[in-house]
Structure 1
Amino acid sequence: MKKIMMLIGAAAVWLGLFPAAVSAVAPQQPTGSDKFHKPSELFSARADGRALFVEHFKAIHYVNFPVTGPTRIEAAFAGEVNDFRISPMILGIEGTQAGGTVSFTLPGPGWYVLEVNGREKLILLADPVETDVPRVGDAGVISVLDYVKSGSDDTLQTEALQRALDEASRTGKTLVFPRGVYRTGTLTVGSNSRIYLAEGALVKGSENREDYPSDGNRPEADHINNKANYSDNGEFMTFSRLLLVDNAENVRIWGRGIIDGSGTVIRAQGKPANLIRIRNSKDVLIEGVILRDPAAWNTHILHSERVTVRGVKVLNDFAVPNTDGFDPDASRDVLIENCFAYCNDDNIAIKTTNNMDLLQDLERVTVRGCVFITRKSSLKVGTETKAGRMSDILFEDNDVVECDRGMALYCYDGAAFENIRFVNNRVERNFPDNQRKAIHFQILSRSGKGHIRNVLFKDCAFDIMFPKGASMAGLDAEHCIDGVTFDGVTVAGKPVRSLSDLGMEEPRFVKNIRFK
């Protein structure tokens, strides 16, 4: 119990200080159009007695609402409840069941998953109360409604929205998106932009692939119209996106609104557009918003420096391929903190792809305090590794609710991986995909031969033994995995003191494995 309370206290620190009142603030409601917000037919929910809007989005059901402290949840399921579990399990949230209703108390702001009958998920995105809300009419604040028509869900307004963004960049004023729907194709964000999406604002991507032009008309990985040349290699896969932060400095995008890429529709047209790409930029902050339904990687951070993504909620379509959560690529000083990500593909994939011929060593990437669900890898470095060096990478205090591979290092293109730390991460269960390994390290030679050196696992816990255990394989005696330390690691509650405790097959070209 002491450890649980310490964890809750730590969560309160990163979320800020909140009053002790046990109550939920007015819940977030959908935008004015039901077209984009389908009510859940399986779940209904109340927070401290107040009804919440539960949305059925793709394969999940979720609710996004602010809280000020401990909050009592009543979640009703439209069917028989045979069993349930509440994640992150490290918090020890105990629920009670009465008929089809499960009741429990959230300790405060955070990301939680109620799973019923081992299948249906209700994701509870409990935000801290906003403290930095710009008001239209205040000095230095402008409204996007001064540039676009409001109340039209089907009208594409790309040009008008771009004018508003350009004005915000030119003047340094804060551009506010009030509640409403804003249909658009690709938009570009420039330096000194401050963009606030109010609760109920929905930036909705076009459902026409032609509204996402590729850089220099470069051919992309079109699995519908050009199957022979399809590639999921990040160097060639995509050159388009909904929102582009390009060659910019001093950018902030924040709020409680939604950016939706219509990715399920446009990927079916063969268009692998990212949701957000931050390219060749510095000092960028994305905070608090929901980023949902990309056609490929959700947030691609390419050749950039000092990028922070904090408190962001990623909701991808579990059925759309290549929909990673966050992809730091040839970047430096990146922080991904206190985020939630539900992905078809990797939650985190730290890369050096050479996309757009932008390549440099990757350094100092931290991922901490997040909650993740994926059918693929969760905490991953690779697969594209085309720079000379990728170093000083920290995964800390993350809860992986479900994944195919918990922690993966894939050095396939010749880089030197150095000083990679997995500290105080927890993996709850295995998603039955094709690998089913808690840990998977591998060196291959696609376009170069690399190394993996100095990897630390400290105070990490795997709640179960994955079906295939763990696996580590270097390439050869010269291109090997050198220096892996396990300190305070547990599997199914048992301390790891040997390879057999990890269920690991005999490692190949691996040396200096230590157990503490």
Structure 2
Amino acid sequence: MLQTVAVIVLLGLVGFRGVKCGRTGKVLESVSGFSYEAINCRKHSASLTDFGGVGDGKTSNTLAFRKAIESLKQFESDGGSQLIVPPGKWLTGSFNLTSSHFTLFLHKDAIILASQDEKDYPVIPFLPSYGRGRDAVGPRYAAFIYATNLTDVVITGNNGTIDGQGSTWWDKFSKNELQYTRPYLIEILYSDQVQISNLTLVNSPSWFVHPVYCSNVLTLKLTILAPVDVPNTDGIDPDSCTNVRIEDNFIVSGDDCIAVKSGWDEYGIKFGMPTKHLIIRRLTCISPKSAVIALGSEMSGGIEDVRAEDIVAINTESAVRIKTAIGRGGYVKNIFARRFQMDTMKYVFWMTGGYGSHPDEGYDPKALPVITGISYSDMVAKNVTMAANLAGIDGDTFTDICISNVTIGPSPKPKKVQWNCTDIVGVTSVVSPPSCSLLPDQGAKACPFPTDKLPIEDIKLQTCSS
């Protein structure tokens, strides 16, 4: 695993020098001499130490982060600004990135440590598309790093680390001792032009990266690590977002490596904001208890046009899993996945219409999801317990499923029935072992994969330096 991490993580070298920046001509001792790639570069720069930051791993830097971000906000309309987190261990409570055209940059030897004190996390309203907190009814704790209503926000580094120190949260959650939903590690809301890249993220209390109600989102070259036995530590969860590019990430998780979402039951239906135009490329995932890519289960605003390719799955419960239920409404359509390499899987293909958790009793039992246009091709898997478990909903058949050029090797103790299919309609082509009767062989005919480019692919990163 460490060898794999080394391949995909970019390292940089960083030096120091003073630059003039800030109010009243104050000299700020800013980190400089480094370069990184970003959607936009910044005119102004400052270091956390300029605002009283102490990187000893013990002193709280919550006030320093807040002062720094507030001070740099003055440059929002003057070329933007970047806050440099230099080498050290920087303990802090939750903080809000309140400025557009802003970059938070971590030196390769910088570690931001999340406070384990609940008092360091503001309590904020639940998301309108969920109608409640995900862990508990009512409000929720703010994410460790969060932002709302921004344009052009970047969180990046030369593989610096953000450590959520989630063990206390996990313990309290397992004992049902938390009043509110656990904080996510990074959550960006209602924002455009978002980049999260070139970082190591470890031990989030719950989901790691959660862009929600956003557009034009890049999550690139992240190493995300959580214990595989801790629930809800999803890697990257694009939620009611448009134009998202997820590339070159390595994720070890106790839950889904990528979970695509768009709201929960009647609240997601009412909010009505789908996740669409999503690219997932060059992902390596380890998740023994969950999926490489999950669609749902909160998908009531709809999920469409997802393109996943060049994926490696190791010791993972399933490759692509569609999770939905009666009462969800919404849709999952035009999903394309190809070129997967998989080793040690419970299932390769998994769809379920019986994932029945609901926010409350107010959901509509007549709200049935539409699942259609699902295309999987060019996949190889070995040491697999069961090829496919595909279960639609009685009276709400999952349609237009296509699986082609797939070879699945069984584990030493495979299931006797390799394809379990109910309430689905589709075709297969060149699939081994042979599929179920509801997916008849159509001969040597490949399943489709889009040839057009999405707008998010045209975003080119600039080389920034200081």
Q: TM-score, normalised by structure 2?
A: 0.74
> Runs in 1 of length 4+ with deviation above 4 angstroms?
123-126, 131-136, 229-233, 235-239, 354-359
- Please list, as runs of the form range in 1=range in 2, the aligned pairs for 1:391-402 lying within 5 A after superposition: 391-402=304-315
Residue matched to 2:151: 249
Structure 2, unmatched stretches of 5+, are: 20-31, 33-42, 430-444, 446-466
Residue matched to 1:108: none
Q: Is the 8 A contact 1:168 1:194 kept in 2?
A: no
Deviation at 1:273, TM superposition (A): 1.2
Q: Is the 8 A contact 2:14 2:107 kept in 1?
A: no
Residue matched to 2:393: 475
Residue matched to 2:240: 330
Distance 2:291 2:310 in 1: 17
Higher deviation after alignment, 479-488 or 126-135:
126-135
CA displacement, residues 108-130 of structure 1 (integer Å, 9 cap, x when unaligned) = xxx61xxxxxxxxxx64653344
Pick aligned residue for 1:167 from 53, 71, 74:
71
| Partner amino acid, structure 1, of 2:113 | K
| Partner amino acid, structure 1, of 2:124 | D
Name the structure, 1 or 2, with higher relative contact order (CA <8 Å, separation 6+).
2
Distance 2:119 2:371 in 1: 42
Pick aligned residue for 2:226 from 291, 304, 316:
316
Q: Is the 8 A contact 1:209 1:269 kept in 2?
A: no
Check 1:291–1:502 CA distance in 2 against 1; reply closer, same or farther (3 A cut).
farther
Residue matched to 1:484: 401
Pick aligned residue for 1:193 from 94, 98, 102:
102
Distance 1:401 1:324 in 2: 16
Deviation at 1:133, TM superposition (A): 8.7
Residue matched to 2:375: 456
Deviation at 1:239, TM superposition (A): 4.3
Residue matched to 2:54: 150
Distance 2:397 2:228 in 1: 34
| Partner amino acid, structure 1, of 2:320 | M
Percent identity, please: 21
Residue matched to 2:329: 414
Pick aligned residue for 1:423 from 324, 338, 344:
338
| Partner amino acid, structure 1, of 2:372 | R
Q: Is the 8 A contact 1:134 1:196 kept in 2?
A: no
Residue matched to 2:459: none
**Residue 127 (structure 1) aligned with residue 23 (structure 2):** no
Check 1:359–1:451 CA distance in 2 against 1; reply closer, same or farther (3 A cut).
closer
| Partner amino acid, structure 1, of 2:51 | Y
Check 1:381–1:162 CA distance in 2 against 1; reply closer, same or farther (3 A cut).
same
Structure 1, unmatched stretches of 5+, are: 1-61, 64-110, 113-122, 222-228, 431-435, 494-499
CA displacement, residues 52-99 of structure 1 (integer Å, 9 cap, x when unaligned) = xxxxxxxxxx75xxxxxxxxxxxxxxxxxxxxxxxxxxxxxxxxxxxx
Q: Is the 8 A contact 1:474 1:508 kept in 2?
A: yes
Pick aligned residue for 1:339 from 246, 249, 274:
249
Q: Is the 8 A contact 2:279 2:307 kept in 1?
A: yes
Check 1:159–1:453 CA distance in 2 against 1; reply closer, same or farther (3 A cut).
same
Residue matched to 1:141: 45
Deviation at 1:176, TM superposition (A): 0.8
| Partner amino acid, structure 2, of 1:420 | I
Higher deviation after alignment, 208-217 or 295-304:
208-217
Q: Is the 8 A contact 1:382 1:411 kept in 2?
A: yes
Q: Is the 8 A contact 1:178 1:201 kept in 2?
A: yes
Distance 1:206 1:462 in 2: 41
Q: Is the 8 A contact 1:411 1:452 kept in 2?
A: no
Check 1:268–1:209 CA distance in 2 against 1; reply closer, same or farther (3 A cut).
farther
Distance 1:394 1:133 in 2: 40
CA displacement, residues 157-213 of structure 1 (integer Å, 9 cap, x when unaligned) = 212211112233331222111101111111111311111100111110001122112
